[in-house]
């Protein structure tokens, strides 16, 4: 068993199962996530017989950084997993801190037309440890503290629901990595049953919906999931989430030249989201060599932004990162595998 797969409550149950005190879980967590030790032998305040038991029952297996690309305020990491699959994470330096976008699956079954990572079908879910170690290894590599985590890399987080929820518990735990709830964002393309399950959990982390179109006809062309859960169902689930959790929701909207960036789209989007406790995050598109979409010009993004603003929709434009690197999610992995 991998020690990084265990939440603090899991470890408390483990220690009870071997007739030890629950508080030892907190001690182990302190060594793992505060002191960042790499072996049980370094845990000097834990009895030797318990250390031996831990060594018998757990491993410290982690993932491996195999390539790093550095750009202006951005670092892209390619990881090799124990089964020789690859995932990516992107570290972005903002004025408010260091934000890490992590992967949650190997590949993705959602098949969004504009997404590089969706070109590879889902191979498997990431284990909790494989998500957690993305943070640990990058903090060590860059000698930094990651303040914000976004689950918006390779994979659909709600398609790996149980592992993702445990991962959030670990990084949010004061004895764990200790990233505040308001600094964690989970993004979904709109798996309605999981949005509803998440609603009932009352977690204080941020919820983002990958919308990318204001109507079903266009969204179904861009996102296969819309044929299963159309916009009306997604919006209803989000409204129920807002009512029960009183937390603002983000709608992600990637700007594709000549596809979803016209005046009529902005007006339709304004009507769709009118009165909701939400805001729209307009995302400049990172062009790739494998997909035909082009990014919307900056002045056209501003026109779209202005229409939303005039219609009293809260809206931001995501800062552009990675102009000098393989910025699109999944792009670094694809190029690396083509080269080996």
Helix/strand/coil for 179: coil
Opening angle at CA 247, ends 246 and 253, nearest 5: 135
> Which is nearest to 187 in space by CA: 114, 275, 110?
110
Residues 17, 11: Cα–Cα separation, whole Å: 10
329 is known as an active-site residue:
yes
CA separation (Å) from 288 to 58, 222, 226? 41, 16, 23
Catalytic residue (one of 88, 105, 156, 252): 88
Helix/strand/coil for 311: coil
Helices and strands, counts by H and E, the chain: 11, 12
> What's 33's DSSP letter?
I
Helix/strand/coil for 184: strand
> Which is nearest to 222 in space by CA: 232, 209, 213, 231?
213
- Residue 195's φ and ψ, nearest 5 degrees, are -60, -40
- State the virtual CA torsion across 49, 55, 56, 57 in degrees, nearest 10: 110
- Beta-bridge partners for 274: none
Q: Contact at 8 Å (CB) between 128 and 4?
A: yes
CA separation (Å) from 48 to 1, 51, 53? 20, 5, 9
Residues sharing a CB contact under 8 Å with residue 180, sequence separation 6 or more, in sequence order: 172
Helix/strand/coil for 192: helix
133 is known as an active-site residue:
no
Count of all residues that appear for the chain in the document? 340
Catalytic residue (one of 101, 112, 189, 329): 329
Residue-by-residue DSSP string for 230-266: -HHHHHHHHHHHHHHH---EEEEEEEBTTTT-SHHHH
Question: Which residues are identified as catalytic?
Answer: 88, 329
């Amino acid at each position: 068993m991998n020690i990084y797969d265990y939440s603090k409550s899991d470890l408390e149950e483990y220690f009870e199962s071997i007739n030890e005190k629950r508080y030892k879980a907190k001690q182990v967590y302190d060594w793992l996530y505060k002191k960042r030790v790499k072996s049980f032998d370094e845990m000097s305040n834990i009895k030797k017989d318990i250390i031996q038991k831990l060594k018998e029952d757990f491993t410290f297996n982690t993932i491996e950084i195999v390539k790093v690309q550095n750009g202006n305020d951005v670092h892209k990491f390619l990881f090799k997993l124990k089964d020789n699959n690859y995932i990516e994470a992107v570290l972005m330096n903002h004025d408010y801190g260091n934000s890490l976008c992590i992967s949650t699956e190997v590949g993705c079954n959602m098949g969004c037309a504009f997404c590089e990572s969706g070109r590879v079908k889902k191979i498997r879910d990431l284990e909790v440890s494989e998500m957690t170690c993305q943070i640990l290894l990058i903090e060590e590599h860059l000698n930094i503290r990651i303040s914000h985590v976004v689950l918006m890399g390779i994979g659909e987080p709600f398609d790996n629901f149980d592992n993702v929820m445990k991962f959030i518990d670990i990084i949010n735990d004061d004895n764990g990595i200790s990233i505040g709830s308001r600094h964690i964002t989970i993004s979904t393309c709109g798996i309605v049953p999981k949005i509803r399950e998440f609603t009932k959990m009352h977690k204080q982390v941020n919820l983002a919906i990958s919308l990318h179109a204001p109507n079903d006809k266009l969204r179904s062309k861009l996102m296969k999931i819309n044929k299963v859960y159309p916009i009306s169902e997604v919006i209803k689930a989000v409204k129920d989430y807002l009512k029960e959790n009183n937390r603002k929701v983000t709608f992600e909207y990637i700007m594709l030249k000549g596809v979803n960036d016209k005046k009529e789209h902005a007006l339709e989007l304004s009507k769709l989201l009118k009165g909701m406790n939400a805001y729209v995050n307009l995302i400049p598109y990172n062009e790739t060599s494998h997909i035909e979409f082009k990014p919307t010009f900056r002045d056209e993004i501003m026109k779209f932004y202005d229409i939303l603003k005039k219609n009293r929709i809260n809206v931001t434009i995501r800062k552009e990162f990675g102009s000098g690197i393989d910025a699109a999610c999944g792009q670094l992995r694809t190029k690396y595998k083509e080269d080996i």
